[in-house]
Amino acid sequence: MKKYPTGKGVGMRFLATGLLALAVMIMTIQPVQAEDLEELLVQVGETYATGYSSPFIHAFGANQNVGTYQTANIPWGGLTFGFGVKMMATNLNDDDQNFSVNIENVDLGAYDAAWSGRTGNVVMSGPTIFGDTETEGSITGYYNGLPVFQTETITGLVDTKNVPLAAPEAYLGGIYGLKATVRYLPEVDLGDYGKTKFMGYGLQWSPNGVVQNLPVDVMVGFFTQELDVGTLIETNAKTYFLGVSKSYPVATVYGGIAKDESDMTVSYTEQDSGTEINFSVDGVQESHVTLGVSLNFLLGLNVEVNKGDLVTYSGGLMFGF
C-alpha cells in the first residue's frame, strides 16, 4: 500500500472446421503471462469486481445473440437439416477496457484501517477484464479532497477490443414453416478463462406458406443461450428477431432486426475477508440490425455484420440437406 504525504467426407470436413474454429478462438483469447480469472477476482470486493467484469457480458451477450439465421427461407413441406460451426466477434468500445467508480461519503476505514471513523470519498479505477494486462488498478481514498491512501489491485485479464466466440450448430426444419436450431459446446478449458460450457436453442417460423407471392422470404424467431465459466460466471442471452431474405442463383442476401437481452451472474469468495460475493450485471445491447449474405451451395458459407450499441461480426460454415 502506498501512502501519500497527506456424409463421412462431409462429416470429417465439419469436424476439422469445428476444431479449427475452437483452436483459433482459444489462441485469440489466450493472453501472455496473465493470471487466471478466478485468481484475479477473489482479490477484490463486489463494487470493484462489478466494474472490472461488466464488459464480459457486454461482449459475450452480443456474441451469443447474433448469427442465429442465414436465410428466412423455411420450407413448409419436406424435411431439411444441417450442421456446422458459427463464429462471432464483438468489437468493444474504448471505455470497455478501463473503468472508474467514485464512492462518496463513506467510512474510509472500510478500505484502510488507519482512517477508520473518517468520512471521505473512494475512487476505484483501472483496467477491466479486457484491459491492459501490465497495469494494475487502484483504490484511492480522499479526505477533505486530498488523497490519503492508495491500494494497488489487479491487472486486466486479456488486452483486447475484439472478443470472439465459436460454437457448433445444428438445425432441423421444413414442417409447416418451422425450424429448430441447437448450439452446444461441451466443457473445454479456455486457458485463463477456465473451463467453459455453452449451449442454446431457438425456434423460427416462416409465414410464406400461408401468405403467397411475397417478394421476399420472411421469418420470425427467438434464441436463448447460456455460457458458463467455471463456477464464477453464468451468462444468459436471449434474442427475438424478424428476418427477411432474397435468394439469387449464387447467393442469398438477408437482414433483419432483433430485440436483445443478456445478463451475467458472478459468484465467488473474496480472498482476504472470506465474504461471499454475488452480483448480477445486464448487457448493454438491447437491439441490433443484421445485414448478411450466404452462398447457396452444399458448403453454406455466410458472413454478416450486426450493428447495435456494439458492432458484432459473424460467419459460419453450414452443411445442409
Q: What is the pLDDT of residues 215-267, one digit of tens each?
A: 999 999 999 999 998 888 999 999 999 999 999 999 999 999 999 999 999 99
- Burial (CB < 10 A; 0-12, 13-18, 19+), residue 225, is buried
Could you tell me which residues come within 8 angstroms of residue 207 by beta carbon, excluding any fewer than 6 positions away?
177, 218
Is residue 55 pLDDT above 80, yes or no? Answer: yes
Per-residue confidence band for 194, with pLDDT thresholds at 50, 70 and 90: low
In this structure, which amino acid lies at residue 135? T
Domain holding 6, by residue range, is: 2-95+157-320
Most confident residue range from 33-37, 219-223, 299-303: 219-223
Nearest to 190 by CA among 11, 56, 15: 56
Please say if the pLDDT value at position 279 is more than 90: yes
More confident residue, 145 or 16: 145
**Predicted pLDDT at 38:** 85
Mean pLDDT across the chain: 87
How many degrees, rounded to 5, is the angle at CA 50 between CA 270 and CA 68?
A: 120
Q: Which of 292, 318, 321, 293 is nearest to 305 (CA)?
A: 292
Mean pLDDT of all residues in 304-315: 97
Contact between 196 and 38 under an 8 Å Cβ cutoff? The reply is no
- What pTM value is reported for the model? 0.85
Does residue 52 carry a pLDDT above 70? yes
Query: Does 128 reside within a domain?
Result: no
Q: Considering the domain boundaries, does residue 120 fall inside one?
A: no
pLDDT number for residue 191: 60
User: Any idea which residue has 480472498 for its cell?
Assistant: 271
Give the pLDDT of residue 192: 54
> What is the rounded average pLDDT of the residues 51-73?
96
Q: Which of 72-81, 112-121, 189-198, 242-251 is the least confident region?
A: 189-198
- For residue 104, being part of any structural domain is answered with no
The answer on pLDDT for 34 being more than 70 is: no
119 occurs within a structural domain: no
- Has residue 136 got a pLDDT over 60? yes
For residues 30 and 230, the model is more confident at: 230
pLDDT of residue 206: 96
Whether residue 63 is contained in a domain is answered as: yes
**Residue bearing the bigger pLDDT, 13 or 222:** 222
Residue 141 lies in a domain: no
- The span from the CA of 280 to the CA of 225, in Å, is 17
Burial 269-285 (b: 16+ CB within 10 A, else e): ebeeeeeebeeebebbb
Integer Cα distance of 29 and 122 in angstroms = 32
Q: Considering the domain boundaries, does residue 181 fall inside one? A: yes
Is there a domain that residue 47 lies in?
yes
Q: Catalogue the E-assigned strands of 144-286.
A: 146-152, 162-175, 178-189, 195-205, 217-229, 233-247, 251-269, 276-282
Residue 77 has pLDDT above 50, yes or no: yes
Total structural domains within the chain: 1
pLDDT at 272: 87
